[in-house]
């Protein structure tokens, strides 16, 4: 005798901006819900909006889903604004917790400005078509895009924007039980009855790497990482040191390219970024009057403007300071690298030239001095050295230092070290 398995629902949480990472995650959830035969896919939402292209992909997946999709705006105080409102309208069942709101779907540019009439009209048609397909309030769908209308949970139910208000996930599953919904793509629609009362919930999280990709899915972060990382690597190549600048630069560049991998970008903008890097490298390697740095700064500004597609863009509050800092940094790095290349050697035996010390011990015509934490044999160039004599290194002969008598000064001598 077999025991019937208790129904289950797949649950995921969407907080923050709607990005390609979120779109991929929800698509994966739909496939998982279907393959594991969950009774429904519940998406708990609290979002201020996001990318219109990612929103379109999510809506298309929801409208064609064979698994009942439930969007639940929760907890109290949460919102399904802008992109979140489109997503909620496209669900088979839309629910809200008390004290939440939905709407304000007017498209904006990456700089926060209102989009053109063409883009707004397209978004209106998109929202209305979703509402029509799901039997929701088309007037609200139009107003939320054109006028930025938003409503509370109670008003949303009264206006046929969402289906129900419930304070908890358990209450949601109870209210969903027995509800009939039409699922499937156009031409293959069929009705299913939800059996969710007491259903087991299975969490579907982004995971660590998904969270990292979502965190990096920011035009501002991508631009910052690529710009600063490029400058750090160029400086390390121009003036090799301990490798800290190079290591930091490589890490920033990797993070920047990870961010680009989840954001839609123009190849032209990326080429401008490469041009800016080449000009900054020229400034660091062959410093002049700052022409290369100025050209790199201009190229970097245009790269920031043109790098990302659609409504995406780098905030001017990030773009301009970054361009100025990187341009100025390349100018400064060029000067520092130039000075470092012209400076006398300060490592190896050559670094001892010009150093002064006191002869501590005498052994025939030679003496012993302590320099750089080591004992050295010294020979006088013109006359034998004497104990207690202040000497200056003028040449190196194998492992011996050739010295001249140095003028005695008040206070400590350059390179003088105490020893016994």
Q: What are the tens digits of pLDDT across the range 50-103?
A: 999 999 999 999 999 999 999 999 999 999 999 999 999 999 999 999 999 999
**Could you tell me if 143 and 149 are in contact, meaning their C-beta atoms sit under 8 angstroms apart?**
yes
- Tell me: pLDDT of 140 over 90: yes
> Which pLDDT score is estimated for 242?
64
Residues 331 and 365 in one domain: no
My answer on whether 326 and 191 are in the same domain is no
Asked whether residue 418 is domain-assigned, the answer is: no
User: Tokens 């690597």 correspond to what residue?
Assistant: 233
SS3 content of the chain, % helix, strand, coil (to 5): 45, 20, 35
Q: Mean pLDDT, the chain, as a whole number? A: 88
CATH number of the domain encompassing residue 87 = 3.90.226.10
Distance between CA atoms of residues 352 and 346, nearest Å: 7
| Cβ within 8 Å of residue 141, ≥6 positions away | 89, 124, 127, 128, 130, 131
Residues β-bridged to residue 375? 370
Tens digit of pLDDT for each residue in 326-337? 998 888 877 777
The answer as to whether 416 is a domain residue is: no
The answer, yes or no, to whether residue 419 has pLDDT greater than 60, is no
Q: How many CB atoms lie within 10 A of CB 279?
A: 22
Q: What is the pLDDT of residue 122?
A: 95
Mean pLDDT over residues 242-252, rounded? Answer: 87
Residues 332 and 367 in one domain: no
Q: Are 193 and 179 in contact (CB under 8 A)?
A: yes
The pLDDT assigned to 3 comes to 41
CB of 103 within 8 A of CB of 96?
no
Question: Among the three residues 187, 209, 231, which one is the final residue of a domain in this structure?
Answer: 209
Judgement on whether residues 117 and 235 belong to the same structural domain of the protein: no
pLDDT-based confidence at 408, cuts 50/70/90? very low
**Range of lowest pLDDT (104-118, 172-186, 210-224, 272-286):** 104-118
Q: For the residues 268-275, what does the mean pLDDT come to?
A: 94
Grouping H, G, I as helix, E, B as strand and the rest as coil, residue 396 is strand
| 400-405/390-397 β-pairing | antiparallel
The position carrying tokens 């390179």 is 415
Contact between 283 and 290 (Cβ < 8 Å): yes
Residue 120 included in any domain: yes
Task: Look at residue 100 and tell me if it is in a domain.
Answer: yes
The segment with the largest mean pLDDT, out of 155-159, 242-246, 308-312, is 155-159
* In a domain? residue 370: yes
CA nearest neighbour of 196 among 43, 8, 5: 8
Position 417 pLDDT exceeds 80 = no
Does residue 412 fall inside a structural domain? no
User: Does 119 share its domain with 148?
Assistant: yes
109-137 confidence digits (pLDDT tens):
766 667 788 989 999 999 999 999 999 99
CA-nearest of 163, 178, 23 to 89 is 163
Which of 158, 181, 209 represents a domain boundary (last residue)?
209
Same domain, 98 and 173: yes
Tell the residue number behind the tokens 């100018």, with chain if given.
Answer: 331
| Among candidate residues 342, 364, 382, the one where a domain is terminated | 342
Strand-by-strand arrangement of the 8-15 sheet: 164-165, 93-96, 69-73, 40-46, 8-15, 200-203
Mean local confidence (pLDDT), 136-164: 97
Contact 199, 39 (CB under 8 A): yes
- The whole-number pLDDT of residue 87 equals 98
178 and 63 co-located in one domain: yes
244: its two tokens: 């800290």
Q: Is the pLDDT of residue 261 over 70?
A: yes
Mean predicted confidence (pLDDT) in 305-315: 83
> Poorest-confidence range of 40-54, 115-129, 232-246, 379-393?
232-246
User: Cα(97)–Cα(81) distance, rounded to whole angstroms?
Assistant: 14
pLDDT over 70, % of the chain: 89
Are 149 and 242 within one domain?
no
Q: Are residues 225 and 97 in the same domain?
A: no
- pLDDT at residue number 2: 38
**Cβ pair 137, 161 in contact under 8 A:** yes
Q: What is the CATH number of the domain that holds 400?
A: 2.40.50.140
User: How far apart, in Å, do the first and last CA atoms of the chain sit?
Assistant: 94
One domain, residues 58 and 116: yes
Domain count, the chain: 3
Which structural domain, as residue segments, surrounds residue 292? 218-342
97, two tokens: 């917790």
Q: What is the pLDDT of residue 412?
A: 44
Same domain as 122, residue 199: yes
pLDDT bin (cut points 50, 70, 90) of residue 288 is: low
What is the rounded CA–CA span in Å between residue 409 and residue 318? 54
Domain membership flag for residue 83: yes
**Within this chain, do residues 254 and 113 fall inside the same structural domain, yes or no?**
no
pLDDT of residue 252: 96
Q: Is residue 118 part of a domain?
A: yes
The residues that bridge with 182 in the sheet, in sequence order, are: 191
């Amino acid at each position: 005798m077999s025991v019937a398995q208790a129904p289950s629902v797949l649950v995921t949480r969407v907080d923050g901006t709607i990005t390609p990472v979120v779109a991929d995650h929800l698509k994966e959830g739909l496939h998982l819900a279907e393959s594991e035969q969950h009774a429904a896919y519940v998406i708990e939402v609290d979002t201020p909006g996001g990318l219109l292209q990612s929103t379109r992909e999510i809506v298309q997946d929801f409208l064609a889903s064979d698994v009942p999709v439930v969007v639940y705006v929760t907890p109290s105080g949460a919102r399904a604004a802008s992109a979140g409102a489109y997503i909620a309208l496209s669900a088979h069942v839309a629910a809200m917790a008390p004290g939440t709101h939905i709407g304000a779907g007017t498209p904006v540019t990456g700089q926060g400005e209102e989009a053109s009439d063409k883009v707004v009209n397209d978004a209106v048609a998109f929202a209305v078509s979703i509402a029509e397909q799901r039997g929701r309030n088309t007037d609200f769908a139009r107003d939320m895009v054109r006028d930025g209308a938003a409503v509370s949970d109670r008003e949303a139910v009264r206006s046929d924007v969402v289906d129900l208000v419930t304070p908890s996930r358990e209450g949601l599953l109870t209210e969903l039980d027995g509800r009939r919904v039409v699922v499937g793509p156009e031409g293959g629609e069929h009705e299913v009855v939800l059996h969710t009362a007491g259903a087991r919930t299975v969490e579907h999280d982004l995971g660590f790497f998904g969270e990292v990709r979502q965190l990096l899915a920011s035009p501002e972060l991508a631009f910052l990482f690529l710009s600063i990382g490029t400058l750090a690597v160029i400086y390390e190549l121009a003036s090799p040191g301990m490798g800290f600048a190079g290591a930091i630069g490589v890490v920033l560049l990797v993070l920047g390219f990870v961010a680009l991998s989840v954001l839609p970008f123009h190849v032209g903008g990326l080429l401008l970024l490469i041009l800016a890097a080449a000009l900054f490298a020229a400034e660091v390697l062959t410093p002049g009057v700052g022409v290369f740095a100025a050209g790199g700064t201009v190229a970097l500004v245009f790269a920031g403007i043109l790098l990302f597609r659609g409504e995406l863009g780098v905030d001017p509050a990030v773009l301009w300071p970054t361009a100025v800092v990187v341009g100025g940094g390349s100018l400064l790095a060029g000067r520092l690298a130039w000075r470092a290349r012209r400076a006398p050697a300060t490592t190896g035996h050559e670094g001892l030239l010009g150093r002064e010390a006191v002869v501590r011990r005498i052994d025939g015509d030679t003496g012993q001095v302590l320099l750089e934490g080591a004992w050295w044999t010294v020979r006088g160039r013109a006359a034998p050295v004497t104990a207690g004599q202040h000497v200056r290194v003028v040449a190196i002969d194998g492992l011996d230092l050739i010295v001249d008598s140095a003028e005695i000064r008040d206070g400590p001598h350059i390179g003088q070290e105490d020893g016994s």
